[in-house]
Amino acid sequence: MSVADIFEALYRWKNNQRHSSWVVLGSAVRIAQSLGMHVRTDDDNLLWAEQKSRIWWSLYELDQWYSCSLGRPSAITMDMNNVPPPSEVGLKNIPCKSNERLDTTQHCPPQ
């Protein structure tokens, strides 16, 4: 999953493994693209849509930062992205159903 790859990329960056960090982040971007995280969908599951948006935009920001820091090409261009930015209200305020696929125990009271 892309979230684990993001953490690995950040870990490698912190430990001065810049090249491997850039490679891991590039792999995370490709995995996210293969899962369709860069494409807006009409999800009726608002919690999943918000989490997807946060993961994708985190990848985008890191990709831009790595590209600027290392002088290497970016893996993500804005023309391939139509996912809206994350909302400012946060995950706690998003209504959800108790039968969703995601673990929502931290965000939703039992219904």
Q: What does the pLDDT look like over 6-20, one tens digit per residue?
A: 999 999 999 999 999
With a cut of 50, list the residues of the chain below it in pLDDT.
98-111
Residues in the chain: 111
What confidence score (pLDDT) does residue 101 get?
Answer: 44
The values of phi and psi at residue 19, to 5°, are -65, -50
Q: What is the pTM of this model?
A: 0.74
Q: Specify the DSSP element, H or E, that contains 71.
A: none
What confidence score (pLDDT) does residue 90 get?
Answer: 60
Instruction: Enumerate the domain spans of the chain.
Output: 2-84
- Torsional sign, CA 87, 46, 92, 53: negative
What confidence score (pLDDT) does residue 23 get?
Answer: 94
